[in-house]
């Protein structure tokens, strides 16, 4: 009876050892301490590794540094000029205005809530081509990025915030141009201002692109 009990005990210990080994291997596979591999494809990363800058168009460089006069004023908010600010504008935590980049369209409304809101600078130009100087164009978009990268927008905070999660800014397939936001991030990267996404997926509360010494 003693020998049988001993064998039973040994088998139980072996099962415990196997369970501990499985748990250890699982922990190693998942990453100890909850550390996320920045290249595992899940969520945003602090180093912007989910944006493949190697696929940026070769001819898409940092826009020329504009003059302060070209950046002054609220020309970037032509669609909101003269309109009351939305009642649900996000709160402001500083005395400067935060530049917000990201997507605002029928598919993604990531930064729509920041448009025409005090304390935030989100490109908000008219889609009507007949609106003249108040109409959006790729040239105006490039100017906006150039002004932001150089820190020349009126009362601009030193950081540029990415308001869309990285999964909303996919790397375009060969032969495709990608979204305007992807173009903006490629331009910022070329300006020496690589976008940084927060670990929670790139929300505006934590993801920033740091402008160094006033940009290029």
Q: Please report the DSSP string for 40-90 in residue order.
A: SSSS--TT-TTS-GGGS-TT--PPPPPPHHHH-SSGGGTTTTTSPPPTTPP
Give the CA-trace dihedral at 152, 172, 197, 72, to 10 degrees.
10
Q: Which two tokens stand for residue 200?
A: 């929670």
Question: In which band, very low, low, confident or very high, does the pLDDT at 13 lie, cut at 50, 70 and 90?
Answer: low
- Cβ–Cβ under 8 Å, residues 163 and 114: yes
pLDDT tens, 39-93?
222 333 334 446 778 888 888 888 888 999 999 999 999 999 999 999 999 988 8
CA-based R_g, the chain, Å: 24
Q: What is the DSSP string of 80-120?
A: TTTSPPPTTPPP--SSSEEEEE---SSS--TTGGGTT-TTE
Q: Rounded mean pLDDT of 103-118?
A: 92
Residue 202 has pLDDT above 60, yes or no: no
pTM for the full predicted model: 0.70
pLDDT tens, 123-177?
999 888 778 888 899 999 999 999 998 889 999 887 788 888 888 888 888 878 8
Q: Report which secondary-structure segment, H or E, holds 161.
A: strand 156-162
Domain ranges of the chain: 1-32, 43-210
């Amino acid at each position: 009876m003693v020998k049988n009990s001993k064998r039973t005990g040994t088998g139980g210990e072996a099962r415990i050892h196997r369970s501990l080994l499985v748990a250890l291997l699982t922990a190693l596979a998942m990453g100890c301490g909850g550390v996320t591999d920045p290249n595992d494809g899940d969520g945003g990363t602090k180093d912007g590794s989910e944006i493949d800058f190697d696929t940026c168009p070769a001819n898409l460089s940092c826009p020329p540094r504009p003059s302060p006069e070209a950046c002054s004023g609220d020309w970037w908010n032509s669609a909101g000029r003269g309109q009351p600010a939305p009642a649900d504008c996000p709160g402001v935590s500083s005395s400067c205005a935060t530049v917000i980049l990201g997507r605002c369209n029928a598919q993604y409304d990531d930064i729509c809530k920041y448009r025409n809101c005090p304390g935030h600078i989100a490109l908000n130009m008219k889609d009507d081509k007949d609106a003249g100087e108040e109409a959006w164009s790729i040239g105006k978009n490039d100017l906006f990025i150039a002004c932001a990268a150089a820190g020349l927008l009126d009362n601009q905070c030193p950081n540029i915030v990415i308001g869309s999660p990285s999964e909303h800014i996919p790397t375009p397939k060969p032969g495709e141009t990608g979204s305007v936001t992807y173009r903006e991030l490629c331009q910022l990267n070329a300006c020496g201002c690589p976008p940084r996404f927060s670990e929670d997926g790139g929300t505006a509360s934590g993801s920033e692109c740091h402008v160094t010494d006033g940009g290029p």
